Chain A
Amino acid sequence: MDVPELLSNILFLIGSVFFLAGTIGLLRFPDVYTRLHALAKVDNLGLGFTVLGLLIQAPGVLPALKLILIWLLALLASATANFLIAQRAFNRGIVPWDASESEK
């Protein structure tokens, strides 16, 4: 196993860890808004690491640029959707979870 391959495998692993964290957050967080936080931030980072890992192995410049494009696109998509969902939920009157409230 050569160095680039090892490196990309490590990056894949890191990405997966983020994905796992995102999933855990999704399972544990108490309301829509907090779950959105988990999804938007953690999973995108996981994807970023995966793309990074692939970039190392990319056969050329153009394929590499394409990978980056995919990442940006995914980012954009998730940010937009995030905003729309949150806005809609808020407009519809879903009250955010409050730590102090739940402790009572």
Chain B
Amino acid sequence: MNLNEALPLLVLGSSLVPGLIIFFLAETRFRLRTALNLAGAIIKLLLIGYMIWGVMDNQSYHFRHTVLPGLDLALKADALAILFVSLSGALWLLTTLYAIGYLEDSPHRSRFFGFFSLCVTATVGIAMAANLFTFFFFYELLTLSTYPLIVHRGTDVAIRGGNTYLAYTLTGSAVLLTGVVWLYDLLGQVDFTYGGTVASLGSEYDGQLKIIFVLLIAGLGVKAAIVPLHGWLPQAMVAPAPVSALLHAVAVVKAGAFGIVRVVYEVYGAEFSESLGVLPPLAVAAAVTIVWGSLRAIWQDNLKRRLAYSTISQISYIILGTAMLGLISTVGGVVHLVHQGIMKITLFFCAGNYAETLGVHKISGMNGAGRRMPLTSAAFSIAALGMMGAPLTAGYVSKSYLSEGAQQANIIWAEWVLTASGVLNAIYFLPILYRLWFKSQPPAWPRKHIQARGGKETAWLLLIPPLVTAAATLAAGIFSESNWSPLFWVKIIAVREYSP
């Protein structure tokens, strides 16, 4: 096994191994646990960096293990995989830092960080999966490793939320599994390849392929929280803030969206999907989700709940972009995969800071928090503006590509949906910003969890991650045309998808 084969495994191992070790560490081994976590995250980033460099240099990284004849566990690092892997790697490091600060005194930290690492491993596996079987393998591993995180607090609400989560996701994956096995039955090994492999089957299979498509999308749609399969997401926000952050930005919902991207472009192929006539319904579903999620968000007073509904809406931007045939909409959709991640994780970090520092969980209690916690609130504001699609932010980039793509694909209603969603986003985010900055502080905050040290508004481990991601939000917007921006990378991917 040469290095090129081993690299995907090493990337997986960099989070898996620390995770497994952490499981069996005593609660009190705080330093060792932290060191392992950070070392794993940093090694992962370094390996990813090496891979990016290699991919640009036209190196290919493949790993293949035959489980059964005709059933391989295969990993590869192509451009799309790298995009998602780097997102998860980077955000894992930040979230780990954040979680260390966040969970300083809570019980069962070994368990938490163990599953946290497993969760990242699964996400990375999903990103690098080279065929549908591998994808499904890690997709389920993700489900299993996130469940203990959601129920981590052990309260009744947490456990109910966890059960709802499991009920939804397991049902979804059962449906997905049916589709996957069916496709394997028709095609043999279903590798992800540019332009897709399904088209070769011939037209007599069109009927079956449509059904399989529905099964696959329905299965993936549960995690991607497409209405009406989204019920678990608002309930799962009972998890600790770092978990919500990871769940909403990188791991679970993204895995679903990423899967849809893979299925549409690299299993069915964009053109073939279009000719099969399955894309318009998907686009409609995405549109409905966008509007519905935004509408529901407006009525939520609990900050994390509002963010959760916002996630439902935002994820479907990716799906909408994927479902509209055309290079530009693809770019818009896929780049939103990254941009939404950065922005949403910022928002959740901030929400966690408000809750942990001030004891504020509700939007109605956030009056004047901007003056009490200026840095956090600044980060929050940047991310919120990005969500609304304000210029100079990452959100602006993705949304403009999406609406341009809708024009190009000549889907007028999609443009209306995007506009309407922008308005709705403003309706549910602007009041928060208003409360943060322009309302006066209450006489006392509900409670103080974390002592501010050295005159800072909160513990520095809680402060750095949102600031970094907020900066990234701005950077991705301002330097979108540079060679290092996600946009540039996504353009490469999109070109490959359309000219296999």
Question: So, do A and B actually touch in the complex, CB under 8 Å?
Answer: no
Which residues of B are interface residues toward A (Cβ below 8 A)? none
Which residues of A are interface residues toward B (Cβ below 8 A)? none
